[in-house]
Chains A and B, each alone.
Chain A
Amino acid sequence: KNEVEQSPQNLTAQEGEFITINCSYSVGISALHWLQQHPGGGIVSLFMLSSGKKKHGRLIATINIQEKHSSLHITASHPRDSAVYICAVPNTGNQFYFGTGTSLTVIP
């Protein structure tokens, strides 16, 4: 049983395209995290959101608590956006459920 499901698992896009990555979860949460990991690189926290929408540059994250669903959007995608994007939700014991990640490749 996966508490966090991401889709798609793999995504290839042309530079400039609008990208959407989805995350669905089955547990009650206080906040949801989006993480980014470049190939061979470390893991960076992109967003933590508990309601509505957040925007950092070309990245936008939305969450619908009632539907237990979040989306990560990338506008005007660029090859440097190529990375694995991971969704994570906390449980009640200060631990986290992680999605298996969405591998994004943006082609010039």
Chain B
Amino acid sequence: DAGITQSPRHKVTETGTPVTLRCHQTENHRYMYWYRQDPGHGLRLIHYSYGVKDTDKGEVSDGYSVSRSKTEDFLLTLESATSSQTSVYFCAITSGVYNEQFFGPGTRLTVL
């Protein structure tokens, strides 16, 4: 399972509150990704990281920020959560010559 954990696994919050999701990996992978998954849209990239302090935006980055101060941790922050950010969030890493992706267990976020 590539040693990927996400926390929390479930969260309910109110509109306007800040939320931080954590992705932790134990195998020193360089690339880490945050996706959201919504019905009818499939997986969409929010942000990704290619090293400590090196991050870039994906296709749905508005309203999200990320940080990677250590190789093993990739944090996703919603500065002021909105109901449209209710979703399932997956963290992923890539490994190997062909960049096979491995996913964390997901975080189900509900913004009321």
Which residues of A are in contact with B by a Cβ distance under 8 Å?
30-31, 33, 35, 42-45, 48, 50, 86, 88, 90, 94-96, 98-101
Contact = CB atoms under 8 A, between A and B. Distances in A.
Given A43-B90, A43-B103, A95-B48, A48 B41 contact: no
B74 interface: no
Kindly list the 4 A-B residue pairs having the minimum CB-CB distance in the complex, ordered from nearest.
A31-B98, A43-B103, A100-B42, A48-B100
Give the interface residue-count category, chain B: 20 to 34
B38 to A, nearest CB: 11
A86 B101 contact: no
Given A43-B103, A90-B99, A95 B42 contact: no
Interface of B: 31, 33, 40-43, 45, 48, 50, 58, 90, 92, 94, 96, 98-106
Contacts of A101: 42
A42 B48 contact: no
Contacts of A35: 101, 103
A11 B94 CA distance: 29
A48 B104 contact: no
Contacts of B103: 35, 42-45
Given A94-B50, A95-B48, A95-B58, A45 B42 contact: no
B104 A42 contact: yes
A33 B41 contact: no
A39 to B, nearest CB: 12
B31 A100 contact: no
B40 to A, nearest CB: 7
B58 A96 contact: no
A99 B42 contact: yes
